[in-house]
Chains A and B, each alone.
Chain A
Amino acid sequence: MTYLPKPKIHHPSLQRNRAGFIRRDYEGAISTLCAGCGHDSISAAIIQACWELDVQPHRVAKISGIGCSSKTPTYFLSASHGFNAVHGRMPSVLTGANLANRELMYLGISGDGDSASIGIGQFVHAIRRGVDMVYIVENNGVYGLTKGQFSATADAGSKSKKGAINNDAPIDMVGMALQLGASFVARGFSGDKAQLVPILKAAMSHKGASFVDVLSPCVAFNNHPGSTKSYDYVREHNHALCRMDFISKRDEITVDYPPGAVREVRQHDGSTLRLRKLPESHDTGDRVAAMNYLHECQARGEIVTGLLYVDPDAPDLHAHLETAPVAFNTLGEDELCPGAVRLESINAALR
């Protein structure tokens, strides 16, 4: 980590996006994580994605649990409200926040300890419910803040820094998210920003439960030979399913690939996901195929990255609950209180 803050003064010529912000408006406090931490690259990708999407920072709520990953919301979008909740409980706090005001964008930031162990129940149920959110797991296979214990995503046979071998089967959160009904499922690698930024932009534009697992090596405790979450290992075994371009609805869609080489998915908000180098056999709209593909790659020892599945028209929790299309925190007595006359008739029925 560095302890030298960047000056607050902006050069007047810095480029503004369509929302009127410069890129630095999306930054946060200086990271206190270790130098080279994958999580900082994810924060940088979030900043880049929000800047490119012209997001208004104050219309984002960033919610996390506990752990190294959960510290990161402090390091991006400083104008947004943030909530560092308790360990493993980000999903429920985010769900409640989303019910209270459906008009904000919700970034749920979690880690593999936070989401695959203590909070796995909440992860499961928030995904099942289709909460409109971007659920990012910064996955390093290790408990960093408590100094190097295995997490539940550590592969069987992988070696800890101290030399212990993990014998427990790993939890694959991507596979779980697919099985649980997430309507957008992708995996990224903190070392591949070119792939990660469009994934995050697509996830942020998606309406419904977006799940993004990002492999994010822990330089302090899980970046050694024998680890399957190290920079070297992930680079060697990364199987990028496809390359994705994110095209917002205002961009002109130009096709510069031969037909058949690209597949386009139009999202609910009008944006388009252009998938390149997608294997002929893979259909991102087929959940079962996505699960099969994931497991096939896994069996070959490959870590599949990229967009695995998207359902651009999936209903979210608010659709299931048939809630009125307003922020509940703006409702007052007129909308919420049935009044004294109605109460008198209720009384009458109870006599």
Chain B
Amino acid sequence: MTQATNPITATNDFVVKFANINGSGSASANELFAKCILRMGVPVSPRNIFPSNIQGLPTWYEVRVSEQGWLGRRGGYDLLVAMNPQTWDTDVAGLAPGGYLFYDNSKPLPKSKFRDDITVIGVPLTNIANGNWDDPRQRQLFKNIMYLGALSVLLGIERGVVVHLIGEQYKGKQALLDPNVHALDLGREYATQNLPPSGLQIERRDNVGDRIFVDGNSAAALGMVYGGASVCAWYPITPSSSLAEAFQKYCAKLRVDPETGKHRYAIVQAEDEIASIGMVTGAGWNGARAFTATSGPGISLMNEIIGLAYFAEIPVTIVDVQRGGPSTGMPTRTQQSDVAFCAHASHGDTNHVLLFPEDPHECFEFAAQALDLADRLQTPVFVLSDLDIGMNQRLCKPFEWDDARRYDRGKVLTAEDLEAGKAFGRYRDVDGDGIPYRTYPGTHPARGGYFTRGTSKNADARYSEKGEDYVENVQRLQRKLQNAKSLLPQPLLHQAPYPARHGAIHFGSTAPAMAEAIAKLDADGMHIDALRVRGYPFADSVRAFIDAHEQVFVVEQNRDAQLRGLLVEQFEIDPARLVPIVHYDGTPITARFIAKAIGERLGAADVRQIRDGKVA
């Protein structure tokens, strides 16, 4: 072990980066590490950085420990657990000065492989594993638990917490439990006897509260179960596949008729995304709540039917877990780059409802709400999640459900309504809100039947190619979408402690980094108001927010400032008033990035002068 001259010392505030090889079984050990810290009452936010690969390529797991509760990616790392020789050089080069390098020293490495300004901690993991297990697979898996053991000693993580978590993981599987605890203790024993504690320490706190630790895809899937989705059609695509799989898992637990064992759900893995959206559209037309989960390339394929659902006014719910582009399009990296595309998906004059969850809690909430909105508005509704929220476990508020809540099935005429002589014309605007009434197929022997098609139709759903019928219909659709604004989740305002001339608009997974950036800027005397938009079309209050500030930064994770474009389009605002702050390299945006970008632009203007309403 070599010691840096200026080692970092920090308690409950540092970043650990695990560099592993995909398929080596490291994921569960790393997750266990993050959970141990949570169980000690200290917030963490872990992020998987993984390749499009099943075995062999490098994968990283970054755990940010933050007593203050900052859950965005911090950037940089203070402790490197270097388990992958392929990436050793770049991993070691990226370690913060004064940081700690933890590695398997079973085989000696030349001095050139290390740095002088870091503390090097070697544990002969391979040698210990080889001395304890014969099976190569077991040697590999238990090596992971052994480094967890050694780290727990170095960082001051209580043994009882780790053992308890392993116990939960292998509940009822004693044959797996015992060797895992044994491996843990081998790691602990070595560290206790050979290594001094590091300058990075975990101390017990009570800062986690009743929050839960879950990934957004599982949360959205559960929201679909609670929201009453009975049909799910999907096609495998990273990073959304785990959503459909979680829906399957939850349905198997929560949606089986206890008496007959029959399923109150139908999940079809379709042949492609075109078929997925076709099935969802067919099911929605026929009155079941249906959804699909996909990512950008899937949305590309779905476009034609999304347009059909829009014009034919069929409830459809789509969760888009955003990533990079088509083909080998950074499928395992995060982005918010489908915003403009989804807002106007398909050909013709279309416009769609978008919801922007910030974390798994909102993934759950918005999934259930999307089903209501789709039924109420009879239109496609998109939940725009992303890989950062979808595939990483995130500390968030617990899920909530009010048993008094009823599903909003929208304007549906029943057999009794029709029997009572209620007039029916499928696309008539009876209530003046642009939303027509519909009937489910098979409702009444003589009334309420109609023919569904694209745009060649009149208000009574009869075939028509007349220009005036078309115009009347698409103008009503426009009114319908405008009226929808008040039904969507409203924007949330964070007000600066002092009157601010500048504002920032952000959405989705940018939220935790934004909150931290604002705190940083506040500390530097630069105060900005922030508005997190949660739905599109934008609420009128978004316009009011922009009007109330001289300049508004629009912070997003795509190249083209897509949300900004939608703001300019909807409010017909002078684009110069909206300053884009964009981050799009595939990694989650950080507070450092936002604070620096905004800070630089604010640097010229001395914002402190208005702190007390006078020049300081």
Question: Residues of A with Cβ closer than 8 Å to B?
Answer: 56-59, 61, 63, 73-74, 78-86, 89, 91-101, 103-104, 121-122, 124-125, 129, 317-318, 321-325, 328-329, 331-333, 335-340, 342-344, 346-347, 350-351
Contacts and interface: CB of A to CB of B under 8 A. Distances in A.
Instruction: Classify chain B's interface size.
Output: 35 or more
8 contacts: A93-B281, A95-B279, A95-B282, A100-B290, A328-B266, A337-B225, A343-B226, A346-B399
A125 B222 contact: no
A340 B403 contact: yes
Given A86-B305, A99-B282, A100-B284, 12 more contacts: A58-B445, A74-B463, A78-B449, A82-B451, A84-B453, A89-B274, A92-B277, A100-B285, A329-B440, A337-B225, A338-B226, A342-B254
Contact of B445 (A56, A63, A317, A344): A56
B445 A322 contact: no
A101 B231 CA distance: 11
B445 A329 contact: no
Contacts of B261: 322
Nearest to B38: A351
A56 B415 CA distance: 15
A350 B442 contact: no
Given A95-B278, A100-B282, A347-B398, A336 B264 contact: yes
B257 to A, nearest CB: 5
A332 B287 CA distance: 11
Interface centre among A89, A96, A121, A343 (most CB of B within 10 A): A96
Nearest to A81: B441
Contacts of A318: 266
A46 to B, nearest CB: 16
Given A322-B262, A324-B260, A96 B407 contact: no
Interface string B395-433: 000111111011100000000000000000000000000
Given A74-B463, A101-B288, A321-B263, A59 B442 contact: yes
B270 interface: yes
B255 A104 contact: no
A96 B290 contact: yes
B545 interface: no
A99 B254 CA distance: 19
B132 interface: no
Contacts of B230: 99-100, 328, 331, 336
A347 B212 CA distance: 6
Interface centre among B210, B233, B441, B449 (most CB of A within 10 A): B441
Contacts of B305: 85-86, 89
Contacts of A58: 441-446, 449
Contacts of A83: 282, 285, 312, 451-453
B129 interface: no
A121 B288 contact: no
A94 B282 contact: yes
B283 interface: yes
Contacts of A99: 230-231, 266, 268, 279, 282-283, 288, 290
B266 A84 contact: no
A170 B96 CA distance: 66
A80 B447 CA distance: 10
A96 B255 contact: no
Given A99-B231, A122-B271, A92 B282 contact: yes
Interface centre among A73, A328, A338, A343 (most CB of B within 10 A): A328
Contact of B266 (A59, A321, A337, A340): A321
B282 A74 contact: no
A83 B286 CA distance: 10
A55 to B, nearest CB: 12
A337 B228 contact: yes
A103 B275 CA distance: 22
B189 interface: no
Given A89-B274, A93-B279, A125-B275, A100 B449 contact: no
